[in-house]
Amino acid sequence: MFIERAIARLDELPVPRRALAVNALARSLVHSGLSVEDYSRVEHALIRVLDDPSDIVRHAVSTALAGEETAPRSLVHLLANDRFFVAAPILKHSPVLTCAQLVDLVALGGEDVQAAIAARPWVSVSVAAAIGEIGGLEACLALLSNANADILEDTLRRIASRFGKNARMRETLLAWSDLPIDIRHDLMTDVAEALRGLVAGRNWMGEKRIDAVFGDATEKAVLKLFEEQSPENAVALVRHLYDTDRLTPKLLVRAAVTGNIIVLEAGLSVLSGQPQSRVFGMLMHGSAGTLKALLKRAGVGNSVAPLIVTSIEVYRQLVRETLTDDYRKLRRTMIERVMTRYETMPEAEADRILALLHRYAADAARDEARRAGHALPAPSRLQIAA
């Protein structure tokens, strides 16, 4: 009798009281143990309520049913397709919505709908993939911020390819500790391209100077990225560089001179088509002739091949002296010893290489100074005053 009176009076109530009444009716569906007849009566009444012109009234039904596993599917479906203000609680929380329904909602809804779904307590692989494929920027940012979203690497790659030039997206992706190495590299490249465009647009440098500065900075950034990776990830990055036409002889030269043997090994393996284990054996034990043949097969030109061979010989010597445990110390020692060898050669042959080596040495010294500066304790106020 109470249910019938409540339903009969709904149309007579002002909006605030009508919202309270329908909220109570909706909660009675899942918490009051209604009889079959009363349950059906309330459900039909609430379906009629969804034609109410007031968003506030319909929103009251949505909030009552949002977190309920036993909410009627028909009501949940209708609410999920209502205006966003009404649908939001259902989109964000309803456990009744299936993955297939959520994928459809992502496809048909606006970015606010997509972002609400991306922020759900759990987002499945298929829903995350749908958001990554067609979701807007805000939806993808919400997805990446959701610790309970199941996101595959392919979805991350798709998001990065669509929004990698957006600064907020780059920052969000780069904050992922386990971001796949190829994505991290591509985002770094996007940052470099953005800075390059800024410098070019402001006419701060000439075109050749820009190419030289950013080319050098990109090489250093890539090798720095290699330093932070496991051998497996380093190999994956080399293959990615090869696939994107960024595995250049200049990068291999820098890797060789600075003692980054993993990059050199994996790079020559990919470029020459030789198994990596075989390439490693050549690098560590092969004769100068064997090394030159390997470099030729890898497409490394005669202008830089001798420098790589010399660097490998120096690296072997340092291995015998057990000076390869500390990479930063190894890099500095490598450059110094390679420079020493070239300083004894005729000027015409050595000048160009020495200029390159001096630049590498300056970079290494600058890095050492920066690290030393970070390691120093901050001065006290008394020290500053003195």
pLDDT above 60 for 379: no
| pLDDT in the model for residue 201 | 77
Residue 381 has what pLDDT? 38
Report the pLDDT averaged over residues 150-177: 93
Kindly tell me if the per-residue pLDDT of 383 is higher than 60. no
* Cβ atoms within 10 Å, residue 362: 11
SS (H, E, C) 215-262: HHHHHHHHHHHHHCCCHHHHHHHHHHHHHCCCCCHHHHHHHHHCCCHH
In percent, how much of the chain has pLDDT > 90? 49
Q: Give the best-scoring range by mean pLDDT among 4-13, 137-146, 219-228, 233-242.
A: 137-146
The pLDDT score that the predictor gives to residue 6 is 65
Section 290-311 average pLDDT: 92
Give the model's confidence band at 4: pLDDT under 50 very low, under 70 low, under 90 confident, else very high: low
pLDDT score for 349: 63
pLDDT number for residue 371: 66
| Residue 1 confidence class, pLDDT cut points 50, 70, 90 | very low
- Select the more confidently predicted residue: 38 or 1: 38
Which pLDDT value is given to residue 88? 97
The whole-number pLDDT of residue 327 equals 72
What pLDDT shows up at residue 378?
45
pLDDT in tens, 179-194: 888 898 888 888 777 7
pLDDT of 292 above 70? yes
The pLDDT value given to residue 124: 97
Among residues 252, 292, 285, the alpha carbon closest in space to that of 268 is found at 252
CB 43 within 8 A of CB 55: no
pLDDT for 350 equals: 73
Mean pLDDT of the chain: 86
| Long-range interactions of 147-154: CB distance < 8 A, separation 24+ | 148/121, 148/122, 148/123, 149/118, 149/122, 149/123, 150/122, 150/123, 150/124, 150/125, 151/123, 151/125, 152/125, 152/128, 153/180, 153/183, 154/129
Q: Over the stretch 191-203, which tens digit does the pLDDT of each residue have?
A: 777 777 777 777 7
Question: What is the structure's pLDDT at 197?
Answer: 77
> 32-46, 283-297, 316-330: which range is least confident on average?
316-330
pLDDT digits (tens, 9 = 90+) for 350-376: 778 888 888 888 887 777 776 665 544
Contacts of 290 (CB under 8 A, 6+ apart): 282
Highest mean pLDDT among 13-27, 30-44, 326-340: 13-27
User: What pLDDT was estimated at residue 385?
Assistant: 38
Rounded Cα distance between 349 and 345, Å, is 7
What pTM, to 2 d.p., does this model score? 0.75
pLDDT score, position 133: 97
pLDDT of 269 reads 93
- If we measure between CA atoms, which residue out of 269, 259, 215 comes closest to residue 238? 269
Q: Residue ranges per domain, the chain?
A: 180-237, 247-372
Q: Worst-scoring range by mean pLDDT, 98-107, 110-119, 313-322, 324-333? A: 324-333
Q: Which residues contact 291 (CB under 8 A, 6 or more apart)?
A: 282, 283, 308, 309, 312
Q: What is the pLDDT of residue 2?
A: 58
- C-alpha pair distances (Å), 110 with each of 38, 104, 107, 114, 146: 37, 12, 8, 6, 19
108-136 residue pLDDT tens: 999 999 999 999 999 999 999 999 999 99
pLDDT one-digit tens code per residue, 208-241: 777 777 777 777 788 888 877 777 888 888 999 9
